[in-house]
Amino acid sequence: MHKQVAAAFDQRNYQMAAQLLKQWRRESPKDPWMMVFVGRLQEETNQLEAAEATYRKVLQRVNNAKVVAQARQGLERLKQQAEASRQQALAQAKAAPGSDQPALLLLAPVKSEDRMTAAQGLAEVMKIDPYIARMQIPGKVWRLYRVGPIGELEFYGQSLRQAQTPAFWVKLADINAAQVFRVCYFRAVTPQVKVVCQNQADQLGVIGFDWTEVSQRVTGLLPIFEKVIDRGAWGKLEHKERTQDYAQMLDLHLHSRHCILRLCDRTYQFQHGDPFNQSSPQVNTTINSGVTSTTRINWNNLLNQINQRVACPLWSDFNSFAEGALEYIDLLGSFNTHINLFRSQPSNWDPAFQLYSGLIFLKQQV
């Protein structure tokens, strides 16, 4: 029977091979060679998952060296065929119209009970070590995993989802699509809110809105760096950069207007008064951090007043997001961060906040 089945395969007569295998199974259901040929028939008739299962079953149950070798060769062929199909699909995705637009691939947070499955999927799709994959699965906040053209990242994202690894992909242009206005100060808070702000072209204007229009709030701390000289090993002087303080950011999302109002404690103009509390004093008392003590008090009061008037979701995991995103910022090229902080040199923390807030705006549209 072995020779007859082999001859049918040589002639590519798979119908004959199937008939012979049925007869062989009835006569010798435990013959290991019969199981190998069953896997081969499944392989040749494009039943790839079944073929893999059959070959692995042979490896688990059979000790015959020649049979085991045939099963391993079958698994290797399946692996090569899968990789060839994968590369072909990836090439098609890269060649699709518009597939070269800059984009981000992100991993979504995973519950602890699903972490192992997600890590296995990430390792399989991205061809990395399973232990490393497990370390890269986020638990609480989105993780920026890769940047590149949208066609390629969409392919990987879909593959990850099929492997039960939560992921999504977004074009950079879509993240930055919402208009961002830098708030200079609140002019009025009742009966309608009015803010004096600047647009992308630094033009000054006034926007009026109702508190109910604020759909989300996003907060974050942006490090302010300074260069210092310190003594290193053997007393050698070294130039270092350290964090001097933090700039506090607050974004108010107005989805109905497709815009973001961005406030910063370093640029908010408290000298124009406090419409929330007209009796609030505006005195500048300097403290060591470089920010006036009254400015810090006024900022905290401003946040409290806003929080009392809105009941929308608050996103405050920026710094956790930024820790994994900073290394990718330079690969995205330059884009407007809508942050006007005085810095001795540009910092990737600013575009990281723009990405974080823009992602939330895009993913949580109402």
Q: Domain boundaries in the chain?
A: 2-94, 102-173, 179-363
pLDDT in tens, 93-139: 887 888 899 999 999 999 999 999 999 999 999 999 999 999 999 99
Under-50 pLDDT residues of the chain: 279-289, 366
Please indicate whether the domains covering 2-94 and 102-173 agree at the CATH topology level: no
pLDDT of residue 357: 98
Sheet holding 259-264, edge to edge: 204-209, 193-198, 179-188, 259-264, 237-254, 216-231, 314-315
pLDDT of residue 2: 81
How deeply is 100 buried, as exposed, middle or buried, from its count of CB atoms within 10 A (0-12, 13-18, 19+)? Answer: middle
Q: What pLDDT was estimated at residue 291? A: 58
Question: Tell me: the pLDDT tens digits for 141-178?
Answer: 999 999 999 999 999 999 999 999 999 999 999 999 99
Looking at the chain, which runs of residues are DSSP E strands?
Answer: 102-107, 143-149, 167-171, 179-188, 193-198, 204-209, 216-231, 237-254, 259-264, 314-315
102-173 has CATH 3.30.1390.10 classification: yes
For 318-345, the DSSP string reads: HHHHHHHHGGGGGGG-----------SS
| Class of domain 2-94 (CATH, top level) | mainly alpha
Give me 19's structure tokens. 């008939």
pLDDT of residue 296: 85
Q: Which two tokens mark 89?
A: 């699909």
**What would the two tokens of residue 256 be?**
């109905």
Pick left, alpha or beta for residue 133 (phi over 0 → left; psi -120 to 50 → alpha; otherwise beta).
alpha
